[in-house]
Amino acid sequence: MGNILDYLDWRGDLTFEQTPFNQVDNLILACFSYLDLDEIADVKNGNTLSVEELFEIFSGKEKDGEVKAESAFLQNTPILLEKMASSERFRKCKAGGYVNEILFRKAQQFSAVTVELPDGTAYISFRGTDDTIVGWKEDFNLSNGIVPSHRKALEYLEFNGTYMQSMIRLGGHSKGGNLAMYTAMQCDDALQEKILSVYDNDGPGFPEAFFSSEKVEKVLPKVTRIIPEASVIGMLLSHQKDPRIVASTQKGILQHDAFTWEVMGPSFIEKESLTRRAAASDRSLHKWIDHMDERQREHLIGELFSVLEATGAETISQIQDGGLKSLAAMVRQLDKLEPRSKIMVQELIAGIFGSWLELLPLPELDKKRFLP
């Protein structure tokens, strides 16, 4: 058992001729979009570089300190690029069409890259969010319908996909999976015919009303949805496709990190169902968020993240690493909320952080404040 990095060590010598594109290849390319390529002009404006050429330039900039990764999740992406560049499977793939834009007064980011594969197809990879609290908040805010990132993603597909001769795969992780779904379901008929497959890797869903169009029904057979067994983000809102549930080396919400998903051969190690805590989190999220209007959802999400931000942590990992200190800060902020908000937020935190809370050295009475 291993992860996508191990897969490149084990099976990177196999070309796409020898063994066809699979779900693990999809996750590799979904994570590829997290690379910071802002300073590399040769992957923008119609230019392309092979993965091995890109690694040569990227590693030089990394040594010069021009590339920075703020989170543990992003620190794995340069390693991913290095292993791809060393593999027969990916080294000749060509990357281009890179864009990275800050939208809406820096409230949202849109980034994407296109990878041309030796099998004659192209994979358009939409960047998602990492394990920062800001990133998670952006995922939750997708519950309020269509946002600027959706429109940018559709423009990207229309601009880049219209003139492609190849068949297209769309994919992404987290918010990127949501963007891949949105573009596939909203593009015109001619483009939709060129879409070979769509991969939603632990991405949030959509409000129920989004699924009313005929285009949605047309594209659903092409969709593969993958979530870890303790998924939170991938269970937000409504989905019209049942997921493949995969094992992870992490616990609880830290399973959102795609580098923790377990791989064996050309496939993920699959599980039959969500964990007990993830199922509880799913019930809590749907109980409160699904039945609210936009203003109410926005208020609840703001209250939830005010509690998380009270810890002073920048990432979900840091909240958990803070242990009892993080919990004390969260409780202090919870006590400032109005009674109804407090009940809702407390239940959401129990669902999202249940696995972590169970491990804390707390008296049973204190644990029962959060855990049913």
Q: What is the pLDDT of residues 191-210, one digit of tens each?
A: 999 999 999 999 999 888 78
Which residues are registered as beta bridge partners of 111? 100
Distance CA 69, CA 73 (A): 8
Residue count of the chain, please give it.
372
The pLDDT of residue 17 is 96
User: Which residues make beta-bridge pairs with 50?
Assistant: 94
Confidence of residue 106 (pLDDT cuts 50, 70, 90): very low
Mean pLDDT score of the chain: 89
Partner residues linked to 99 by β-bridges: 112
Q: Give, as one character, the DSSP assignment of residue 103.
A: E
d(CA 308, CA 331): 10
Residue-by-residue DSSP string for 145-193: S--HHHHHHHHHHHHHHTT--S-EEEEEETHHHHHHHHHHHHS-HHHHH
pLDDT at 276 over 50: yes
What's this model's pTM, rounded to 2 decimal places?
Answer: 0.91
Does residue 103 register a pLDDT over 80? no
Query: Cβ(238)–Cβ(145) under 8 Å?
Result: no
User: Which residues, 6 or more positions from 131, have their beta carbon under 8 angstroms from its beta carbon?
Assistant: 71, 72, 73, 254, 256, 257, 315, 316, 317
- Residue spans of the domains in the chain: they are 4-274, 278-368
Tokens of 49: 């570089």
The pLDDT, as a whole number, for residue 290 is: 73
User: What is the percentage of the chain residues whose pLDDT exceeds 90?
Assistant: 60
Which residues 6+ apart lie within 8 Å of 136 measured at CB? 129, 233, 305, 308, 316
pLDDT in tens, 126-173: 999 877 888 788 888 877 777 888 999 999 999 999 889 899 999 999
Question: What's the token pair of residue 35?
Answer: 């690379």
3-class DSSP state of 202: coil
- % pLDDT > 70, the chain: 92
Q: Which residue has the higher pLDDT, 73 or 252?
A: 252
Residue 249 one-letter amino acid:
T
SS3 227: strand
pLDDT digits (tens, 9 = 90+) for 111-127: 999 999 999 999 999 99
CB 191, CB 158: distance < 8 Å: yes
Segment 345-367 mean pLDDT: 78
Q: Per-residue b/e over 269-279, b at no fewer than 16 CB within 10 Å?
A: eebeebbebbe
Rounded mean pLDDT of 87-109?
84
Give the confidence band of 65 by pLDDT, cuts at 50, 70, 90: low
Whether the predicted pLDDT of 7 surpasses 70: yes
Query: Using CA atoms in the order 322, 325, 327, 329, what is the torsion angle rounded to 10 degrees?
Result: -120
Coil/strand/helix, residue 326: helix
Q: Is the pLDDT of residue 102 over 80?
A: no
Measured distance CA(160)–CA(309) in Å, rounded: 38
Written out in words, the top-level CATH class of the domain with range 4-274 is alpha beta
Residue 344 or 105, more confident: 344
Residue 362 has pLDDT above 80, yes or no: no
Give the pLDDT of residue 72.
65
In DSSP terms, 201 is beta-bridged to 173, 226
CB 365 within 8 A of CB 342: no
